[in-house]
Structure 1
Amino acid sequence: MVEQGRNGPTGIDVTRPSVARMYDYYLGGKDNFEIDREAVRQVEKAMPEIRRLAQENRAFLRRAVRYMARKGIRQFIDIGSGLPTVGNTHQIAQEIVPDARVVYVDNDPVVLQHGRAILATDDNTSVAAADMRRPADVLGHPETVKLIDFNEPIGVLMIAMVHFLTLDERGPIMRQLHDALPSGSHLTATHVTTEAHSPDAVAQIEAVYARTPTPIYFRGHGEIARFFDGFDLVDPGLVTIDAWRPDPSDPAPQATKWLYGGVGRKA
């Protein structure tokens, strides 16, 4: 990828770090720029285990998607899907439900370019350009409407996404998503936590993300749980992601305890 000036021919702003490209670098990907790598180096000073956290988060995603597929979910909306990597949502779901349908949603131009080339490879997989802060755009996007039947249960993923919402945004956005989903739908989310971690480290990481278009907010268990209002959390509830249904056949890295995660079901 050639680094160009602000909003160059590809429309990609390389003057500010991107959370999607930073996450790609955490996972060892190559779809990032030096400004993203420098931001990651700043995060690593406060959280040396950040790369392990990203791998742990992906392992949780795999377990959650398998859980939902085994519970009969045949269609998924992956909000803030990020850059393609090994073990994407449709690949995991289709191991269990071969005709599972997946819509990947993101608003990062690099993600959209790569997603359309790599992820949208069959009639059951598509990519939608939309922002989670506008649920109506996510749910009403032509690619979503084409693949998702809102009369049947849906699995919504917001993996490492809800911590980019302010508390003022939380209620309206999550209510809109909840109200649009049919009974039997599931919400899966992970969120960074302040608990058991140095306030200085949290402040340093928040300061790095404040330089991106998408600030991050670390929170405690109680505030994170509110993102699941209206959903019944399945066992074991909202826990650090290492404790959520560990799978010996798909081991995760050593626990970092930086993320809470859960899966909620709409009655």
Structure 2
Amino acid sequence: MSSPLDTGQTTDRPHLTDQSHADARAVEALLFTRPSAPRIDHHLLGGQAVYDLDRQAGNTLVRAVPGIRDMVRARRAFVTRCARRFAEEGLDQFLDLGCGLPTGHDVHHVVHAVDPAARVLYVDHDPIVLQHAWAHLSGPGVEVVTADVRDTRLLLAALHDEGMLDLRRPVAVLLAGVLDFVADHELPAVLTGLRKSLAPGSRLALTHLCADRLTTAEATALTEVHARTQTPLRPRGRTAIGALFTGFVLDEPGLVELYPWGPDEGVWPVANSFVLGGLATLRHPA
């Protein structure tokens, strides 16, 4: 399989360095019998590090959900613009949860253009994402760890590992298109654990698919395609998405469409966006 930074043809079965120590048969099943949400997104971005089943799933979404490519593109642009903004505000620690496949214009590239000494910690649990992240997301101040945001115990253990991030100081947290895959009964532990681990003044950039803005056919296509992955999709309404910011103070203009966060504001004239995003600051204790 080619790198996401290459243009060559993919191979059928790449060698996988499984640093997560997952069961080999489970990894094999994940890689070759099911599509993967981050690989689907990578295909929609035009990346090469995917398999036929990921392309087929992505193409199904393109036919069923007009604007899906633009939505994935807008979400990626949101992440990089927020990262740059946080770095310009003076934050020097970044936590990219569910980082996805590298694109060559990743968070550490954006952040280090502002502050070369900033630290960036990438977190994911998809084996192919990790394979490429270990290969391409490297350098001074950059680390990649294996953790699933849904497994709060392991996630917090990764955050507390010595030498990664100093959680006594504010951290910029990027949660783009991640909580969309966390079940309702898992959300409280994930969000509470994250808030308790962060210092007041930490910043949050979060996006989520908004069920209120999808037609029935679009919602059905999205949930059916992702039901075939290891991470079923959980669309939520605007009110439920707003509740994800509990404990944080939202920046103006609040929870909004992502298009103003594109590379150049106003260049994506789309009538409706079904992904919402917001920036927020963790409250200081009363």
Which region of structure 1 is more displaced relative to structure 2, 206-215 or 132-141? 132-141
Partner of 1:219: 236
Structure 1 match to 2:12: 3
Pair 103,252 (structure 1): closer, same or farther in 2 beyond 3 Å: farther
Contact 1:156 1:187 in 2 (8 A): yes
> Which residue number corresponds to residue 7 of structure 2?
none
Letter paired with 1:265: T
TM-superposed deviation, 1:97: 1.5
| 2:82 is the alignment partner of 1:73 | no
- Out of 120, 127, 135, the residue aligned to residue 144 of structure 2 is 127
Partner SS for 2:163:
helix
The answer to whether structure 1 residue 192 and structure 2 residue 201 are counterparts is no
Q: Distance in 2 between matches of 1:10 and 1:136?
A: 21
Aligned AA (1:178): R
Residue 90 of structure 1 is matched in structure 2 by 108
- Taking the aligned partners of 1:24 and 1:243, their CA distance within structure 2 comes to 22
Map residues 1-267 of structure 1 onto 2, 5 A cutoff.
Answer: 1=1, 2-4=11-13, 11=28, 13-120=31-138, 122-141=139-158, 145-243=162-260, 248=264, 253-255=268-270, 256-267=272-283
SS of the residue corresponding to residue 32 of structure 2 reads coil
Farther off after superposition, 136-145 or 89-98? 136-145
- State the identity as a percent: 32
How far is the alpha carbon of 1:132 from its aligned partner? 0.5
* Corresponding residue SS for 1:141: helix
Tell me how far 1:154 sits from its aligned partner: 0.3
Distance 1:205 1:111 in 2: 21
Paired AA for residue 116 in structure 1? W
**8 Å CA contact retained: 1:55, 1:252:** no
User: Aligned equivalents of 2:185 and 2:160: distance in 1?
Assistant: 29
Question: Cα distance, 1:10 vs. partner?
Answer: 7.6
Following the alignment from structure 1 to structure 2, what is the Cα–Cα distance between the partners of residues 145 and 102?
A: 14
Q: Return the offset for 1:182.
A: 0.4
What does the per-residue CA deviation read over 1:205-242, in whole Å, with 9 as the maximum and x for residues that have no partner? 11111111101122211011111111111111111112
CA contact (8 A) 1:160 1:189 kept: yes
Please tell me the residue identity of whatever aligns with 1:3.
Answer: D
User: TM-score if structure 1 supplies the norm length?
Assistant: 0.91
State the Cα distance separating 1:55 from its structure 2 match. 1.1
* RMSD over equivalenced CA pairs, Å: 2.3
- Moved segments of 4+, more than 6 Å: none
Other structure's SS at 1:147 match = coil
Which ranges in structure 2 are unaligned for 5 or more consecutive residues?
Answer: 2-10, 15-23
Counterpart contact for 1:52–1:254, Cα < 8 Å: no
